[in-house]
Amino acid sequence: MIPSSQVLTVAQMRAAEQALIDGGETVSSLMERAGKGAAEWVWRMAGGRSVTVLCGPGNNGGDGYVIARELARRGLDVTVVAPLDPATDAARAARAGYDGSVAEQGQGGVLVDALFGSGLGRPLAPEIAELLAQEAARHAYRIAIDVPSGMDSDSGEALNEGLPGFDLTLALGAWKPAHALMPAMAAMGEVRLVPIGVAEMPGAAQLLRRPELRRPGYHDHKYTRGLVLVVEGVMSGAALLACEAAMRSGAGAVRLSTERLHPAVSPDIVLKGEPLSELLTDARTGAVLVGPGLGRDAAAGERLRTVLRANLPTVLDADALALLAPDDLAGHDKPLILTPHEGEMTTLAMAFALSAPGKVARAVELAGKTGAVVAYKGADTVIAAPDGRVVFAPSATSWLSVGGSGDVLAGIAATRLAATGDGFRATCDAVWLHGEAGRLAGPAFLASDIAVYIPAAYAACL
């Protein structure tokens, strides 16, 4: 069975658990299911080493007692450290089911953090934070249950300074936003899901999944596969990178709107010197990309406005995002994709008077105000649609943080937009292909290397 990709906030997770309880489960039965599932992972990772379980007062601590009980039954040397007594009926029942003693200090090779889970909304008390730090330093391998203690589940923000990192985090029941948001994501190590029977929740965000792509049909030709027009600016290299990516991600044809001679350019790129306004009248154009290397002077602004007035499916990246103003979008009702990184989002927040806090809310607000699909890039890319859909895309590799990487992503997005006509699908496809190409490229690659590996990433989706 394919694991669920839904990502639930604290409120959504509570509603999902309540639905299970309304259907006949109890808090204790769900705790048993979560604790036993987590214990299976801890057992595998422990490899016979002794385990210390930190148990908090709530139901996350109850999960910890179940884990400790199950590991002890399998013969592992288990120590429970519980700085606070159980405070819920289910946690007290789980504590009663654990036959071992509770110590003041842990020992051994593996630490299990079951102090506080996804419901924590305030900083850890100083003495609890100190205990967590001490126990983390004492153990070579660390496992967090659901969300590392001290991390906000909905925002991914650290509620305390100096929180320890983990080697493995076990998400209970469903993925949480923190599993795919910085800085929490960087502290979690590998992340695995422990199912407990949670149903799919309406309106839930999703983790990015591998897209389902297709081969060209026998009746396809270069225009049905997608004609992409890339608009050049003052820096040709960025536009050429985008063209390369567009070609290698399946475009039927790629045109470069240019006023320069390019004697060394790939022969696969069709150079077009006609006025941009004239090129944009070609009804066969499936998508336009403007922004990579565009520049930020008056001429660049006019190129951007010329593209938007043409009202074609469009991807705006890089300099186009710095120049974009709300009035530029008047009358544009075709699919639109924006691909800002953190700095570009700061500029857009000022231009569009965004007020929402946090990465997810800001992406959703910008999508709503522009009518565009927004790919808010970073190690924790968030994709938001104007209708409120959200997809989380943790980075496939940190090596993608290289100059020109965003130009490659924009080129892929333009091709997928030309092929599908669906801005949300195109953006999700592009982010996945970009990440997979980076993963396949290995370490220390150039942006142009990402483009080279796009066909291999595409092949994985057929």
CATH numbers and ranges of domains, the chain: 6-205 (3.40.50.10260), 222-459 (3.40.1190.20)
E-assigned strands of 269-379?
A: 269-272, 285-290, 314-316, 336-338, 373-376
pLDDT, residue 254, reads 97
Which of 180, 240, 254, 235 lies closest to 431 in space, CA to CA? 180
pLDDT, residue 79, reads 96
Report cis status (omega within 30 of 0) of the bond before 275.
Answer: no
Q: Which helix (H) or strand (E) holds 362?
A: helix 359-370
373-376 and 141-145: which strand pairing?
unpaired
Angle at 184 between CA 178 and CA 189, to 5 degrees: 105
For the chain, state the CA radius of gyration: 25
pLDDT, residue 263, reads 78
Q: Are 104 and 76 in contact (CB under 8 A)?
A: no
Residue reference for tokens 């592992």: 76
Tokens for 157, please give them. 């923000």
Q: What is the pLDDT along the chain (462 residues), one digit of tens a residue?
A: 466 899 999 999 999 999 999 999 999 999 999 999 999 999 999 999 999 999 999 999 999 999 999 999 999 999 999 999 999 999 999 999 999 889 999 987 999 999 998 888 899 999 999 999 999 999 999 999 999 999 999 999 999 999 999 999 999 999 999 999 999 999 999 999 999 999 999 999 999 999 999 999 999 999 999 999 999 999 999 999 999 999 999 999 999 999 888 878 888 999 999 999 999 999 999 999 999 999 999 999 999 999 999 999 999 999 999 999 999 999 999 999 999 999 999 999 999 999 999 999 999 999 999 999 999 999 999 999 999 999 999 888 999 999 999 999 999 999 999 999 999 999 999 999 999 999 999 999 999 999 999 999 999 999
User: Amino acid identity, residue 335?
Assistant: P
State the pTM of this model. 0.96
390-394 and 380-384: which strand pairing?
antiparallel
Tokens for 169, please give them. 């985090």
Which residues, at least 6 apart from 439, have a Cβ–Cβ distance to it below 8 Å? Answer: 396, 397
Residue 182 CA to its chain's centroid (Å): 9
pLDDT, residue 259, reads 87
pLDDT, residue 297, reads 96
pLDDT, residue 59, reads 96
In angstroms, the CA 458 to CA 263 distance is: 30
User: Amino acid identity, residue 102?
Assistant: V
In angstroms, the CA 30 to CA 28 distance is: 5
Hey, which residues does 256 pair with through a beta bridge? 230, 271
Q: Are 450 and 405 in contact (CB under 8 A)?
A: yes
380-384 and 373-376: which strand pairing?
antiparallel
Q: Provide the 3-class DSSP secondary structure of residue 185.
A: helix
Q: Tell the burial category of 177 from Cβ atoms under 10 Å away from its Cβ (0-12, 13-18, 19+).
A: buried
Which of 109, 120, 122, 125 lies closest to 145 in space, CA to CA? 120
Which of 402, 411, 409, 415 lies closest to 436 in space, CA to CA? 409
Q: Are 287 and 417 in contact (CB under 8 A)?
A: yes
pLDDT, residue 2, reads 60
Alpha helix stretches (DSSP H) within 139-218: 184-187
Q: Provide the 3-class DSSP secondary structure of residue 111.
A: strand
Which of 330, 384, 327 lies closest to 361 in space, CA to CA? 384
User: Amino acid identity, residue 423?
Assistant: G
For residue 288, how many other CB atoms are within 10 A of its CB?
Answer: 27
In angstroms, the CA 231 to CA 317 distance is: 11
